Structure formats: structure tokens, C-alpha cells
Structure 1
């Protein structure tokens, strides 16, 4: 899990269930799942990518999923968002931390 989300995931809390299953065809993949599978380690962890998409669907709006998906390609961007003085970036970062903690709990 930590290798997949690599620095973009920190602490937070959320309670819900996650059903882990085999990944579907690429057309059926969610935003986060596509980014995960396309990441350096994601292709070796397709089931994990499916699980973190299921978590994302529970805690992140589609717009936040799009913004978060970009972090898989550019992990340094997560540092920029975390340190940004922009209120929208701060709001996203707090949601992303919550998502990361939930994904780590349910997909580890």
C-alpha cells in the first residue's frame, strides 16, 4: 500500500467497508484505479488498485479523485499541495489524508 500511494497518503479516519475483488476491464476502472495500475508498482498490485478505488468512491468526490490521480504520476506534487497556502489545496489535502488512511486500513 505505501509503495503505491507513496507519500501522498498520510493520517486520517473514516469508517466503511471495502470489498476487494479482481480488477475489471480498463474501461470499467475508476479514476484512482487507472492511475494506480499505471503507476510504477501498480501493475503488480491490480487487486490493491481495485480496493483503493473502492475506498476513493466512498470518501472522495470525482473532482478530488482526478486531482489525486495526478499524484500517482508526480508524487512531488503532493508535497506542493500539502504546503500550499491556497484554501482549496488545503481542503483537498485534508480529504486526501483521510482517504489515504482509510485505504491503508481497508486494503492492507
Structure 2
């Protein structure tokens, strides 16, 4: 279970990195992506992930996903939580990850 959570976070983390404050990269996920400083990342890729998030997730969900970059344990706790709200969020998150892989990856 934890491996799955880490792998979904790694997709976004591995895809993103670099310097924060890069022109044209806006949004909580893109900024968290850039701040993660992953070598395989680019501002273009982080922006792509943000665009997918904008299309797939609410602003509240995007903020929540951005927090996963800082602390992957938050993602794990959400995944294993036994609440309807977290289950619904996790379904949206998985859909977002799948779409980001297909669009940006």
C-alpha cells in the first residue's frame, strides 16, 4: 500500500523540479513540483501537471495534492484513511495521476 502511494507521488515528483519562481509556472502543484528539485523535471513539465490538475481537480484538491510534495506521509495517511471524503478524494487523485501520466509523461 505504501509503495503504491509513494509511486503515485514519485510520478509527480520525478516529473518536476528545478527553481521556484520560474516565469509562466503558476499554481500550487507547479510551484511544489519546482520546489521538489527533481533532476528529471522541467518548468514545462511542471506546468503541464498543473494544467491537468486545473482541469481535473478543485482548487481545494489542488492545494491538498501540493501538500503531498512536502510530506508524502500525508498522501499515505489519506490513502489508508477510512472516510468517505478521503476515499472520494483519493479516487479523484488517482484519476488526476492517470491523466497527468497520459498528458505530460
Q: Secondary structure at the match of 1:7?
A: helix
**Paired residues for 1:16-55 under 5 Å:** 25=23, 29-41=26-38, 44-55=41-52
Q: Secondary structure at the match of 2:68?
A: helix
Contact 2:78 2:86 in 1 (8 A): yes
Q: Give the TM-score of the pair, scaled to structure 1.
A: 0.72
Higher relative contact order (CA 8 A, sep 6+): 1
RMSD: 2.4
Q: Secondary structure at the match of 1:54?
A: helix
How far residue 48 of structure 1 moved from its aligned partner, in angstroms, is 0.8
Structure 2: which 5+ residue stretches go unaligned?
1-5, 10-20
Mapped partners of 1:94, 1:78: distance in 2: 13
How far residue 89 of structure 1 moved from its aligned partner, in angstroms, is 1.1
Q: Which has the higher helix share?
A: 2
Contact 2:22 2:43 in 1 (8 A): no
Structure 1: which 5+ residue stretches go unaligned?
1-5, 10-22
Aligned residue-pair number? 90
Q: Deviation per CA, 1:9-60: give whole Å up to 9, x if none.
A: 5xxxxxxxxxxxxx9627x611111111111317942111000001001100
Q: Give the TM-score of the pair, scaled to structure 2.
A: 0.74
How far residue 8 of structure 1 moved from its aligned partner, in angstroms, is 3.3
